Structure 1
């Protein structure tokens, strides 16, 4: 099953995608939030969709597509989790996963604009394979980790490299700016992906392909990541873990290439759909 949400910010409604067509399921009630995932919502929604097959109303193509779940309690990210990306940035291959947090206020729809922060000169792109947690997870064994996964989502881990690397402290300050976490268009449930270790990811800027990777090249696997993160914090239903990006980010070029207002970012992943974002200059909300 593929979950979607649609509508203007603050007024989103829930839907599902069937054979590339989006359908409204707001009659199911509620939203795709922590309560939904914690209460076996995926199974109940599947029953609802099957019971109403043929009666679901298609969503107009001009509707805005939102992130496929409400704001999670946390967005956890794994840094330098592809060997080729670590090498292009001159970093040492990590012995254990690098964990940083991305502000939940950075969450955006897959086709929403990406806003360059005030005083930013080094805003960058990162296509990533995201894990969506399905039930409360604490000190989970690696062998059981996938039982805690609801599904997967495409994520553009937009990053400001000066804030991240040159301003001291942790990476978080370069990761959590407004609009820096476009997710979606769909949450694809775990049963719809035959092999999470063979998922292709790509990203283009202004039509030029910069990233072309595959989850087969992850340094730390999805089960290991879920287990590892759960040793340090309780993961709640609906939380997201973003698994890292392959080579081809702007920072990795000589000289580096950074996003400018007017640029168009396009990215996608097998089974997870595609995104398209226009980059805009800073605007105070």
Structure 2
């Protein structure tokens, strides 16, 4: 498998003039089905595109839509995009600001305790049913956006996760055809204020999980036709030191199972995001516990999907 690198603009107050090398892990003809939202220099207009094969350029999809959620809702086929790909206008990746690939989803649904290793590090039995919770969409930030160290917490933690992006309205879905309702996959951080998650707010997760900037996502959404996410390496490093390393095959409840269970009572809509859980190595269960502080740099990666890099800043 060939590894390619290309520069992208890091978003963040102290980082805007620097470049970062991020990896693509496939060089097949389908690599350009990585959908990305971005802004050009000196513009506040959000645009939609797809990465070129080598990732050095973004091909403009404004003829289809300016945001991915609307594109998904339109039902436009991937074949339609491929048919027009060669004639699309391009912009250099290094000249734009990369945004979260999904903005304003109706739901961000999360699954707790869904990796065997994450249960093992807590000496907890594997759950017999998934534990669901949610994050507000206002927690979203881009793949190179800052994570705010909010002053009300001193236990901010990392959790790298595989994100699933829903492609069509789903209700009462069977496991056997659940993947028909998926559009693609991305990389996420389920940043968590452990004190607010575990000890404050009556033990409810919402505040601890939904603080502003607590859901970095990106750098793109790779279409499901390009990749099988069932057994991919997933890692997280802080300041260059690897903290988490696992494989998506460790999921206790896999993607079809999650979608099937949720849709027995909750309708999933195009653009909804599901965070599927995190492997072992989170800060609160290390000995001694470790938490994020201003100045830290979090690197989260899923092979074949992408890498996000987020700086922690003062709140």
Shorter-normalised TM range: over 0.9
Q: Distance in 2 between matches of 1:180 and 1:91?
A: 25
The corresponding residue for 2:18 is: none
Q: What CA deviation, in whole Å up to 9, does each residue of 1:253-273 have, x standing for no partner?
A: 011100010001111111211
Tell me which stretches of 4 or more aligned residues in structure 1 moved more than 6 Å: none
Normalising to structure 2: TM-score of the pair? 0.84
1:89 Cα deviation (Å)? Answer: 2.8
Tell whether the 8 Å contact from 1:128 to 1:155 is kept in structure 2 after alignment. Answer: yes
The unaligned stretches of length 5 or more in structure 1 are: none
Is 1:4 the equivalent of 2:39?
no
Q: What CA deviation, in whole Å up to 9, does each residue of 1:170-220 have, x standing for no partner?
A: 212210010001100010010110x32111111100000011111111101
Distance 1:93 1:55, change over 3 A: closer
The corresponding residue for 1:72 is: 105
Aligned mate of 1:25, from 27, 45, 60: 60
1:29 Cα deviation (Å)? Answer: 4.0
Aligned mate of 1:137, from 164, 170, 192: 170
Instruction: Give the superposed CA RMSD.
Output: 1.7
Q: Distance in 1 between matches of 2:287 and 2:203?
A: 25
Normalising to structure 1: TM-score of the pair? 0.93
Q: Distance in 1 between matches of 2:272 and 2:265?
A: 14
Instruction: Within 5 Å, give how 1:255-274 maps onto structure 2.
Output: 255-274=288-307
Q: How many residue pairs are counted as aligned between the two chains?
A: 279
> Secondary structure of the equivalent of 1:197?
helix
Q: Distance in 1 between matches of 2:81 and 2:197?
A: 44
> Secondary structure of the equivalent of 1:5?
strand
Q: What CA deviation, in whole Å up to 9, does each residue of 1:100-125 have, x standing for no partner?
A: 00110001100000001231110000
The corresponding residue for 2:197 is: 164
Instruction: Within 5 Å, give how 1:109-258 maps onto structure 2.
Output: 109-167=142-200, 168-193=202-227, 195-258=228-291
Q: Distance in 2 between matches of 1:10 and 1:205?
A: 31
The corresponding residue for 2:48 is: 14
The unaligned stretches of length 5 or more in structure 2 are: 1-32
Distance 1:281 1:104, change over 3 A: same
> Secondary structure of the equivalent of 2:94?
coil
Q: What CA deviation, in whole Å up to 9, does each residue of 1:210-232 have, x standing for no partner?
A: 11111111101111011111123
Q: Distance in 2 between matches of 1:35 and 1:63?
A: 21
1:25 Cα deviation (Å)? Answer: 1.5
Q: What CA deviation, in whole Å up to 9, does each residue of 1:112-145 have, x standing for no partner?
A: 0000123111000011001100000011011110
Q: Distance in 2 between matches of 1:232 and 1:57?
A: 43
1:83 Cα deviation (Å)? Answer: 1.3
